[in-house]
Amino acid sequence: MTGKRILIVTTSHDHLGDGDHKTGLWLEELATPWYAFLDAGAEVVLASVAGGAVPFDPRSLPAQAGRGGEQPEERPDTPASVRRFLDDERAVQAARSTPSVEQVAGEPFDALFLPGGHGTMWDYPASDTLALLVGSYADDGRIVAAVCHGPAGLVAAKHNDGRPIVDGRRVSAFTNSEEEGVGLAQTVPFLLEDRLRELGARFERGPDWQPFAVRDGTLITGQNPQSSELVAHHVLVALGLGLDPDLTSEQRVRERAYAIWEAEGRPHGHHEDHWARAIRDVNAAGARPGTTPARGVQSGTVVEGADSGGERTLGGTGSTGTLRTPRP
């Protein structure tokens, strides 16, 4: 195990506005990071805004793939991560019975990840606890990441001084044109791109339906479902569990060799061995840098609880109240 702990908080909202059309979590945006984190050796806790079963947007499941939702209807393919998740009884059980964000907010984590789905547009901004959690992590210098509609969980979060946490930060999210492309621009309570801009974010985007992610310090955001893997890679890099996808191959080897040297206590006389091991690790990562765990680290686990580590109390963050957010 790496000792790194990641909290994933999903939506609990299962319908589009006041209508009968079902929505919820877009499963790709959970499944892809879920396995990226676990395969890198991290511990992962899954929670939701209200607790209980996570509602999956039915159009993100194989039976209804290609029927709109968070991607255009001409994209009917189901990602391999979704099929892996649905075939994984442990993962499915974790999604069937989640603790609420209130129940896990005081547990120690290194990073917070917010997957999307249209349901987030209703319950993420309305959750005071989520706003407090996001704000406290931002002030504490811990990783906050979100993808697609997941940045709806950032709009109510503030720093201790009252500034929106996205003010002046490079941020991406589901764009206005993508919302129009799926026919829901008039259904969602607000356009996420517009709201983030209004809060002072430096909004950045790529082409519709293409992977695009932005890392601004400890804030990592991605544009759409196709960006889920890229956002997960950035989280792993930020936690020291992955290789920076922006580095050249030689730089990746150098960074990996240094990480091995550090992990072994900076011994003398082993540089050639470290370099050879780094080459093997980088080659194993191939076209998917960021997924290679530290040498000797086992695959990660899903955990349901946490021991309280060193604590840091932060008050006045977010909309109201105080929140204890201990470090692992």
Least confident interval from 73-77, 141-145, 265-269:
73-77
* Per-residue confidence (pLDDT) for residue 301, from 0 to 100: 56
CATH code of the domain in which 160 resides: 3.40.50.880
Q: How confident is the model at residue 326 (pLDDT cuts 50, 70, 90)?
A: confident
Owning domain of residue 266: 249-289
Least confident interval from 25-29, 98-102, 245-249:
245-249
Position 297 in a domain: no
pTM over 0.95: no
| CA separation for the pair 1, 34 (Å, rounded) | 16
Domains of the chain: total: 2
Task: List pLDDT tens digits, range 64-79.
Answer: 655 555 666 656 678 8
Same domain, 162 and 49: yes
| CA separation for the pair 235, 109 (Å, rounded) | 13
Final residue before a domain boundary, out of 238, 265, 298: 238
Same domain, 44 and 69: yes
String of DSSP letters for 56-108: BPGGGSGGGTTS-SSS-TT--PPPHHHHHHHT-HHHHHHHHSBPBHHHHTTS-
CA 74 to chain centre: 26
Task: List pLDDT tens digits, range 11-24.
Answer: 999 999 777 789 99
First-to-last C-alpha distance (Å) of the chain: 13
Position 208 in a domain: yes
